[in-house]
Amino acid sequence: MCNNEEIKPVFLVIPPFHSINRPSLGVSLLKAAAEKEGFPTELIYLNLRFAEHIGPYLHEWITDKPMGQLLGEFIFSHLLFERNERAVEQYVKEVLQEDNEIHSLIEHFPDKSLSEIVLHLIKKAYDCYKNEVEKILTRQPWVLGVTSSFQQNCGAVYLIKLIKDRNPNIITMMGGGNCESEMGEELFSCFNYIDYIGQGEGDKSFVELLRSLQYDDGKRYVPGILTRMAQPLADSSTSLGSETLDDLPYPDFDDYFDQLDAASFKNQIVPGLVMESSRGCWWGEKKKCTFCGLNGEGIAFRSKSPQRILDELNDLVKKYGIGRVLLVDSILDMNYFKTVIPRLAANPIAELVCETKANLTKEQVKMLAEANIRMIQPGIESLSDHSLQLMQKGTTAVQNIQLIKWSTELGVFVMWNHLCGFPEEKNESEKIDEICEMIHHLQPPANTAVIHLDRFSPYFEDPEQYGLVPVSVPTPYKHVYPFEYKSLKKLACYYQSDFLKAKLKGEIFKRLKKTTSNWCKAYPRSHLVAIPRKKSLIIIDTRSCRQQIWIRLTGIDRSIYEYCDKAQKLSKILDYFKADVAESDLKLSIQRLIDKRLIMNVSGKYLSLAVYPTNAYKNFLQVCPAGTLTYRHSNKLRSFLKRVIQSKSLLKTAVTLIYEKVSHIYESLGTALLTKTLWCVIGLLYKVENDVKKETAF
């Protein structure tokens, strides 16, 4: 393109499957950078358009589905490689039918077989792309860039192919997580209609490429860009990253909200914003978690200045009128507890969700809650010290438990999965069962899983060292790409190992899955709260493992219990109280608390398990700051709820039962507290009844 010609627009496309609940941060930053340099750029949220064709709920189900089955990739692979129906039948037989969660897909199409469902989705994908390609070609973009991470590869390549077949003059490029290292190089080798591939951080590389295309037809070499015209592939491994994150522009989300507003399902989306305060991982720089494949080759940690974070957050919230923000950082900069978080606590801007380490203090959890960071992903992963050591997490089981306890008390929702399957792990099922049973009142894991062998993880880099060989490409990839094994190995994001396949069928996983299921079922009705009185500490316990429902702690029992709100070694407890109480009496007191299942000894540290019933206790955010799709009842559930509210004695019966069950607990607490509690219950029941009526209205 000659520099004196009028610059045509640059289109950056977000293909399926990317969540429709929030904008894409990466391409929004690229748009802002390009427009700052005078290149008109527009984002096309093709995922929103595809959700119009298959429905938002099904789109999000496929998006959120773990990559194990590659359903999102297979849908577009069928079109990309022009396969027949037999290929679908083979995929269903060898992949989908082996999926234990496939019933969720069948529920969307109860009158279709699995093969018919997949063919239906393929037809919808064809219709969507046919329509959108025409729109793109009508506007004649100069450059068409497509982002690809997770299950977006085939959707991205298929779009580029359709565009290039119709207009070879449009410059095409790809970027994103699926283009890192040899994955990008193999994409470049396999699909000759991709003109450029961006690798690494593209903040500067993308703009430099546009300049090169504008002034010398892309002949100038740009680091981090694979090109068919300049340097050989091997020289394109280092991108022009942004060392100072403060220099980055604010992301531009205008296109997302414009296109969401035009969607028929816009009222079903409660959108969130996305933002980054750092890149890389400071813990990974020291000792990367053995199973973690995040950050690829960009592990070096950099963070934005406190003022930049606050300014950017303020700007985005005011501009888009949305007070929900997902911080996409791999880990929170701990220095922010001295700078950013106190200022957010003094002047809350938005509800935030972030990733952090699990070894937080109670004061730090309190600071997060006050700053409206009320949803965290702390990388708990396990309640076994041995497994945590194998992972190189740098935390302990008791630190994980006390974080969940404090977070439950202070209204901070903890997102975590219970993982197993690590090389050299011990069978600690009985110990884990006992621990979990004692903390049924605390937030359970969302899921139980055997670890994946992800690209870029230490396990992947040296599987022989960890006893994970032989390693192979999972079966779904063989259905997605009709290439030789050598090529599949380079394209794959995750791998399978005979060792991990055996773990999926092993006793540890089965037992842990059952333990998690029991925990999730018991959690809503399980409470262990400590109510301070002048001369005693009242413990109310509704856990299934309880010794008593009501317990009154006094004297040294109370003192030790309150002291162990933070996990303490026995030596420290004895030293702390030695001036007032004999060592033998202290040990007897500790044993009494253990016998009542009120205190837990985990690897030589004693932790009190009760939480204090603050106003924030189990009062979690109702909407995820990362955005959410509003809940839709199934017809079966609606019918059930209708029958429930037809019972005129619902409130009377519920209150009577509650009074009979709990009135004796409150004897020493006074009538006022009991009355207040019952009125809260009555108010809640009325609210539930009214909400149910609204939900079941047809």
Q: Give residue 242's pLDDT.
A: 65
Fold for the domain defined by 528-608: Arc Repressor Mutant, subunit A (1.10.10)
Domain-wise residue ranges, the chain: 10-246, 528-608, 633-695
DSSP string, 408-436: HHHT-EE--EEEE--TT----HHHHHHHH
Q: What is the mean pLDDT of each run of 10 residues along the chain (698 residues)?
A: 70 98 98 97 99 96 88 98 97 90 84 96 98 98 98 99 98 97 97 96 95 89 86 51 87 99 97 98 95 88 97 98 97 98 97 97 98 97 98 97 98 98 96 98 97 96 96 97 98 96 95 97 96 96 95 98 98 97 98 98 96 93 90 48 47 48 42 47 48 40
Query: pTM here?
Result: 0.89
Q: Give residue 219's pLDDT.
A: 82
Beta-bridged to residue 553, according to DSSP, are 537
Q: Give residue 217's pLDDT.
A: 84
Find the radius of gyration of the CA atoms of the chain: 28
Q: Give residue 235's pLDDT.
A: 43
Q: Give residue 252's pLDDT.
A: 99
Q: Give residue 493's pLDDT.
A: 96
Cα separation of the two ends of the chain = 58
Q: Give residue 347's pLDDT.
A: 96
DSSP string, 373-386: EEEEE-----S-HH
Angle, nearest 10°, between helix axes 71-80 and 114-139? 60
Nearest to 193 by CA among 217, 216, 169, 214: 169
Q: Give residue 438's pLDDT.
A: 98
Q: Give residue 101's pLDDT.
A: 79
Q: Give residue 104's pLDDT.
A: 81
